[in-house]
Amino acid sequence: MTSTSRRGSLIRDAENAEKENASSSSSKSGFWKKCEIVVTSAGNTMSQICEKLKNEDVIVSYIETRNGTLIKNVAGNSNTSFLITCIGNDNDITTGLKRLESIGCKATIVNGTERTAEWFPRHVTELELCRGTKTDYEPDKDSNHPGFNDPVYVERRNYISNIAHFYKHGTDIPTVDYTNEDRQTWSVVYKTLKRLHATHACKVYKDNFQRLEKECGYSPNKIPQLQTVSEFLKEQTGFQLQPAPGIITPRDFLASLAFKVFQCTQYIRHPASPMHSPEPDCCHELIGHIPMLLDPTFALYSQQIGLASLGVSDSDITKLATLYWFTVEFGLCKENNVLKAYGAGLMSSYGELQHALSDVPMHLPLQAEKTCLQPYEDSVYQPIYFVSESFDEAFNQVRAFSQHCTKRGFDITYNENDGYIQTVPYINL
């Protein structure tokens, strides 16, 4: 997702998410709002009422039976009224009320002004709408980028990025014909990092890296194609790759994880700086991220952060992005009481991997509710790293955090069989 030299940008991007989402959301479904309605039932069960609303993508988050409040209908019979709090966009709520009227209910909006959730994709194919990118660090924009004065590199980068812009879910990821320069850069990065991984990486990472060498052709002399890696990854943990045009905005990137999709760049960093990149490239993605995504528990952890991000506020996106940063990107763990690294930002950075396991920085236990608030340094190695006792512990923490520390009013699950997100309301009767 991010390169090690771009530390801090994920959080800054999240903090500026409202501005970024203004343009990217305009082609989507708009903002959701919380709406309170009073429904007078004409003999319909509560489940029938909820089902009608659910069919219009309206989420019921609270139901209160108005005991003792009986309303006479025209025939003189008494009907019970309900106060229902629901969440949805204007069109869906309006249609939902019409559906209630069609089964003989009377529904009246009593409060519908509070915006409660941002748009989020409901089907895996809608991830095509989640490709918002930051362009500040691209070689034709940033004068500090190693490729800034290399028009040939810029043209090639743009060509490869366009593959992602036009990619359609369910189709094969196009093959990139890497140049000799690309392969030389990959080889330098690969050999240098692998030597350090032998002593600094956790066992899960090292074992899975060996599997990638065996099954996907990882080697110093060959850059794996995303389609090959994606097929193997999906067989193992259900995750699959989708080509990314560049640095994806936090909300869009985290949303893709909910669907077990990892947005992955295909271009290679500039050959003038093989051990440094101001943005993510496939060295960072394939060497840093993919080995850990082959671990079932770690894959569930990544998906849980994605599910937690759907529909939440910008401030919650910032918290989740921070949690992602200090775990998936720069996380440490214990193995037989020995400190080891698993974060992709560390596994793809020779210098920071050495720094992280030294006595220089602080090593604190992972506590999701505190870690999510920890600021991090932008231009130097991290002064603080967070340590997980196990991946199971980290998964349980982020699951609990997403349920209790984000303000959404409903829970979310992903049905892999049909590719749809399902909403699960928090109902208090």
CA distance 19 to 68: 48
Q: Is 284 annotated as a binding residue?
A: yes
The band of 425, judged by pLDDT with boundaries at 50, 70 and 90, is: low
Q: Are residues 261 and 391 in the same domain?
A: yes
Residues 29-69 pLDDT 10s: 455 777 788 888 767 777 888 888 888 888 887 777 654 34
Q: Are residues 291 and 246 in the same domain?
A: yes
The phi-psi region of residue 177 (left if phi > 0; otherwise alpha if psi is between -120 and 50; otherwise beta) is: beta
Last residue of a domain, one of 55, 83, 117: 117
Q: Is 329 annotated as a binding residue?
A: yes
Q: Are residues 220 and 281 in the same domain?
A: yes
Q: 322: which 2 tokens? A: 């921070």
152: amino acid identity, one letter: V
Q: Are residues 91 and 141 in the same domain?
A: no
β partners of residue 33: 88, 115
CA distance 39 to 82: 5
Given the residues 145, 200, 270, 284, the one annotated as active site:
284
DSSP annotation string for 17-86 = HHHHHHHHTTTTT--EEEEEEEEE-SS--HHHHHHHHHTTTPEEEEEEEEEEEEEE-TTS-EEEEEEEEE
Asked about 329 being catalytic, the answer comes back as yes
pLDDT above 60 for 1: no
CA distance 122 to 128: 12
Element (H, E) at 52: helix 46-54
Closest CA to 260 of 224, 307, 325: 307
Closest CA to 368 of 319, 298, 318, 295: 319
CA distance 265 to 402: 28
Q: Are residues 58 and 189 in the same domain?
A: no
Chain-centre distance for alpha carbon 415? 16
pLDDT above 80 for 172: yes
Q: Are residues 218 and 71 in the same domain?
A: no
Q: Are residues 216 and 300 in the same domain?
A: yes
Last residue of a domain, one of 89, 117, 145: 117
Query: What pLDDT, on the 0 to 100 scale, is given for residue 116?
Result: 54
Q: Are residues 166 and 192 in the same domain?
A: yes
Pairing of strands 240-243, 78-88: unpaired
Q: Are residues 19 and 51 in the same domain?
A: no
Query: What pLDDT, on the 0 to 100 scale, is given for residue 281?
Result: 92
Instruction: Say which CATH number the domain at 306 has.
Output: 1.10.800.10
Instruction: Say which CATH number the domain at 97 has.
Output: 3.30.70.260
Asked about 284 being catalytic, the answer comes back as yes
CA distance 347 to 366: 19
Given the residues 126, 279, 285, 329, the one annotated as active site:
329
Q: In what order do the strands lie in the sheet with 78-88?
A: 59-72, 78-88, 32-40, 106-117
**Contact between 13 and 24 (Cβ < 8 Å):** no
Domain count, the chain: 2
CA distances from 194 to 273, 287, 333 (A): 18, 9, 19
pLDDT above 50 for 28: no
Query: What pLDDT, on the 0 to 100 scale, is given for residue 90?
Result: 78
Given the residues 5, 61, 348, 388, the one annotated as active site:
348
Last residue of a domain, one of 117, 152, 178: 117
Given the residues 289, 302, 309, 388, the one annotated as active site:
289
Q: Are residues 152 and 244 in the same domain?
A: yes
Q: What's the mean pLDDT in 13-30?
A: 40
- Which segment of 157-161, 302-306, 320-324 scores lowest on mean pLDDT? 157-161
Q: Are residues 103 and 219 in the same domain?
A: no
- Higher model confidence: residue 377 or residue 197? 197
CA distance 323 to 367: 9
Asked about 289 being catalytic, the answer comes back as yes
Q: Are residues 22 and 37 in the same domain?
A: no
Q: Residue 378: which domain range?
A: 4-26+121-425
Query: What pLDDT, on the 0 to 100 scale, is given for residue 374?
Result: 93
Q: Is 270 annotated as a binding residue?
A: no
Q: What's the mean pLDDT in 363-380?
A: 87
Q: What's the mean pLDDT in 105-129?
A: 77
